[in-house]
């Protein structure tokens, strides 16, 4: 085959609540960018990939997050198929693993307690967020604000009733919620990602606390490197005291506000990675 043969794998619909179209569109635009460079590209759902015994591609760019498909892709990676993000990097975004990875790498992260949803109830000294400890938001109840002990117990109980064994509890921090997108482990100036954009989350009253955008970019790059992510997004809070608090880091977001700008950047980065560069 003369041109490199790649698959893009869509995020599972259950992992894209309310963002199905946005998630699918960034993958499609990235595929078009790769095709313009000279790659042959096929787009697949996670369900089409699971259990596939033959016909695997030479390289994969993926938004899927389920354990079953990621384990299969890990086997493909061991056989020489190149991936962005790697299956292990995506697994590292599961909250319980992310906390441990950040701690080991010394990446500043919001205070996070990993607790059982079924055994005992932790005390509540201030409002908190209760989040399932594995994948990110898949449905209502996966991420819940709890301002009281009763609300905390209800959130944990609801997760337990769905068979979710562990949760992460994080304090509520006042400040401006900022979302970000990034591409590449480096290549920017002074330790920043090679491509990086941030913006204020729309559903809030922005106070405009001053902060250093370059410090934000460097923090995000450190966090992405700790998880092994190459295409990523997430959230921080900027406080009245100028602190930047990392709340979350995700593998391959929708890039919705910057999709047309980001897609060719991602495609160019993938081409470099898949052809042996870094």
DSSP one-letter string for 135-187: SS--STTSEEEE-SHHHHHHHHHHHHHTT--EEEEEE---SEEEEEEEEEEEE
* pLDDT of 145 strictly over 90: yes
Task: Identify the CA nearest to 234 among candidates 193, 187, 191, 190.
Answer: 193
Query: Tell me: the pLDDT tens digits for 47-88?
Result: 999 988 778 899 999 999 999 999 999 999 999 999 999 999
Mean pLDDT of 245-260: 95
The Cα 176–Cα 179 span in angstroms is 10
Residue 232 lies in a domain: yes
Task: Identify the CA nearest to 27 among candidates 69, 85, 67.
Answer: 85
State the CATH number of the domain containing residue 178.
3.30.470.20
Q: Are residues 104 and 237 in the same domain?
A: yes
Which tokens belong to 233? 């997004």
The Cα 238–Cα 230 span in angstroms is 24
- pLDDT higher for 136 or 18? 136
DSSP string, 57-103: -SEEEE----HHHHHHHHHHHHTT-EEES-HHHHHTTSHHHHHHHHH
Query: Tell me: the pLDDT tens digits for 154-201?
Result: 999 999 999 999 999 999 999 999 999 999 876 656 677 889 999 999
Sign, CA torsion 134/143/138/198: negative
Q: Are residues 57 and 149 in the same domain?
A: no
Which residues, at least 6 apart from 141, have a Cβ–Cβ distance to it below 8 Å?
155, 158, 159, 162
pLDDT for the residue 84: 98
Query: Tell me: the pLDDT tens digits for 204-224?
Result: 888 889 999 999 999 999 999
Which tokens belong to 104? 């080991």
pLDDT class of 1 with cuts at 50, 70, 90: very low
Q: Are residues 34 and 124 in the same domain?
A: no
Q: Are residues 192 and 104 in the same domain?
A: yes
User: Domain count of the chain?
Assistant: 3
The Cα 236–Cα 234 span in angstroms is 7
Domain of residue 49 covers 5-85+260-274
pLDDT for the residue 132: 94
Residue 73 lies in a domain: yes
Q: Are residues 216 and 134 in the same domain?
A: no
Residue 90 lies in a domain: no
Rg of the Cα trace of the chain? 19
Residue 91 lies in a domain: no
- pLDDT higher for 204 or 263? 263
Residue 93 lies in a domain: no
Mean pLDDT of 245-258: 95
Strands 82-84 and 59-62: what pairing? parallel
Q: Are residues 237 and 130 in the same domain?
A: no
Helix axes 213-227, 95-105, angle to 10 degrees: 110
Query: Tell me: the pLDDT tens digits for 99-130?
Result: 999 999 999 999 999 999 987 666 777 899 99
The Cα 91–Cα 76 span in angstroms is 16
Q: For the sheet with 128-132, list strands across it.
A: 113-116, 166-171, 128-132, 143-146
Mean pLDDT of 239-267: 95
């Amino acid at each position: 085959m003369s041109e490199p043969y790649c698959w893009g794998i869509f995020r599972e619909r259950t992992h894209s609540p309310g963002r199905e179209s946005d998630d699918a569109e960034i993958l499609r635009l990235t595929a078009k960018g790769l095709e313009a460079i000279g790659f042959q590209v096929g787009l697949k759902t996670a369900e089409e990939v699971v259990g596939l015994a033959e016909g695997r591609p030479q390289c994969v760019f993926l938004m899927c997050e389920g354990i079953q498909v990621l384990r299969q892709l890990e086997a493909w990676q061991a056989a020489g198929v190149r991936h962005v993000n790697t299956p292990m990097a995506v697994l590292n975004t599961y909250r319980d693993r992310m906390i441990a990875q950040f701690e080991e790498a010394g990446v500043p992260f919001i205070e996070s307690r990993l607790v059982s949803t079924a055994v005992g109830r932790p005390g509540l000294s201030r409002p908190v967020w209760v989040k399932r400890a594995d994948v990110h938001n898949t449905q209502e109840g996966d991420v819940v604000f709890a301002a009281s002990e009763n609300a905390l117990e209800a959130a944990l109980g609801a997760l337990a009733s769905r068979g979710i064994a562990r949760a992460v509890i994080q304090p509520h921090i006042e400040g401006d919620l900022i979302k970000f997108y990034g591409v590449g482990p480096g290549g920017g100036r002074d330790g920043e990602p090679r491509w990086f954009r941030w913006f204020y989350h729309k559903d809030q009253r922005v106070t405009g606390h001053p902060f250093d955008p370059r410090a934000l970019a460097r923090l995000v790059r450190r966090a992405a490197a700790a998880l092994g992510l190459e295409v990523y997004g997430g959230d921080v809070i900027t406080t009245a005291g100028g602190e930047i608090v990392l709340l979350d880091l995700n593998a391959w977001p929708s890039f919705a506000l910057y999709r047309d700008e980001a897609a060719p950047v991602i495609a160019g980065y993938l081409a470099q990675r898949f052809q042996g560069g870094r």
